[in-house]
Amino acid sequence: MELRQLRYFLAVAEHLHFSEAARVLGIAQPPLSQQIQKLEKELGTRLFMRHSRHVELTEAGRLFRERARRIVEDADLALAEAQNAGRGETGRLILGFAGSTVFHPLVATLLQRYRSAYPGVAIGCEESNSSVLLERVSEAKVDAAFVRLPLDCRGLATEPLVEEDVLAVLPPRHRLARRRSIDLADLAGDPLILFPRPIGPDLYDSILSACRASGFNPVISMESPQISSAVNMAAAGFGVTLIPSSMRQIRALGVTYHALKGGSLRTTIALVHRPGERSPTVQHFVRILRETARQASRD
């Protein structure tokens, strides 16, 4: 039994006339009649009673019509779903996020644009540090991930979204609290709160290198579990810390945020994904990311 035969049968069952059904189907009447006869032979029963000017369904034909309609509808639905998935209009996209990346408003803007363009795609989220996310993407457990550069991305494709300055966060009643901007060298005597190096080894090293280039070796007083938690540790008086500028929205009691003169430290939020990615959902996401990044760079 072929799907084509079911479509032919349903056309005849609807019009109760072979010539009219053939016209609607866009085929000649003899092939249509032959396929209906072949179907009846395979089923071992007649589906139509033939009359000189019309046909009518037999009892078997009426019962078969309901089943055939469901089969054809299911086949059409399966075809549409497969085509939509192939175009990246449905399916699932698993995104990873390094904790500090979610604070930048452009990340939310990108997600909103993607959801608006592809509402049929379900988005799953996973938060971890950059090093773990690189492994998750490489192992195809996550489709793509937002990380912070500088970072050794281990051969993964990298799509920069936005670059931002690094700010100094000073604890309550710090001697430099009244200044709008400071030199990195001004922090030479302060204990420094940093995230553990494994979370982002390249960013960690770039901070230490910038400190040394400013004439001092920083004394790391404490490591925070994540970049975001360092602000709360600064508020508790454990020292100063350095964070991406988008994270200044964290409101910890008494801390102050200060630009670093000369733009001595910068970091970039980027999306990493497997090179040569063929998934339509990932391809569409990357395309919208590039459009968003271009627009942001012009604003």
Q: Which residues contact 256 (CB under 8 A, 6 or more apart)?
A: 169, 170, 174, 177
- The confidence band for 69, taking pLDDT boundaries of 50, 70 and 90, is confident
Task: Verify that 54 and 118 share a domain, yes or no.
Answer: no
d(CA 281, CA 279): 5
Strand partners, 268: 149, 163
Task: Verify that 13 and 76 share a domain, yes or no.
Answer: yes
Single residue among 26, 58, 86 that ends a domain in this structure = 86
- The mean pLDDT value for 117-125 works out to 91
pLDDT tens for 214-251 read 999 999 989 988 777 899 999 999 999 999 999 888 88
Task: Verify that 173 and 248 share a domain, yes or no.
Answer: yes
What is the structure's pLDDT at 100?
86
Task: Verify that 111 and 81 share a domain, yes or no.
Answer: no
- The confidence band for 89, taking pLDDT boundaries of 50, 70 and 90, is low
Average pLDDT over the chain reads 89
Task: Verify that 168 and 263 share a domain, yes or no.
Answer: yes
- The confidence band for 72, taking pLDDT boundaries of 50, 70 and 90, is confident
Q: pTM of the predicted model, to two decimals? A: 0.72
What is the structure's pLDDT at 139?
94
d(CA 39, CA 41): 5
Give the structural domain span for 7.
3-86
Task: Verify that 82 and 99 share a domain, yes or no.
Answer: no
Single residue among 35, 62, 86 that ends a domain in this structure = 86
Task: Verify that 144 and 12 share a domain, yes or no.
Answer: no
CATH code, domain carrying 237: 3.40.190.10
- The mean pLDDT value for 89-94 works out to 81
Asked if residue 80 has pLDDT above 70, the reply is: no
List of long-range contacts for 194-199, beta carbons under 8 Å, 24+ apart: 194/220, 194/223, 194/224, 194/230, 194/241, 194/242, 195/223, 195/224, 195/225, 195/226, 195/227, 195/230, 196/223, 196/225, 198/129, 198/131, 199/129, 199/130, 199/131, 199/226, 199/227
Angle between helices 59-86 and 3-15 (to 10 degrees): 130
- The mean pLDDT value for 140-151 works out to 94
Q: Which residues contact 174 (CB under 8 A, 6 or more apart)?
A: 240, 256
Task: Verify that 153 and 280 share a domain, yes or no.
Answer: yes
d(CA 241, CA 261): 16
pLDDT tens for 175-208 read 999 999 999 999 998 999 998 888 888 888 999 9
Task: Verify that 124 and 66 share a domain, yes or no.
Answer: no
Task: Verify that 168 and 262 share a domain, yes or no.
Answer: yes
- The confidence band for 81, taking pLDDT boundaries of 50, 70 and 90, is low
CATH code, domain carrying 61: 1.10.10.10
Count of domains observed in the chain: 3
Asked if residue 39 has pLDDT above 70, the reply is: yes
Single residue among 86, 119, 143 that ends a domain in this structure = 86
Asked if residue 84 has pLDDT above 80, the reply is: no
- The mean pLDDT value for 267-275 works out to 95
Task: Verify that 121 and 250 share a domain, yes or no.
Answer: no
Task: Verify that 167 and 262 share a domain, yes or no.
Answer: yes
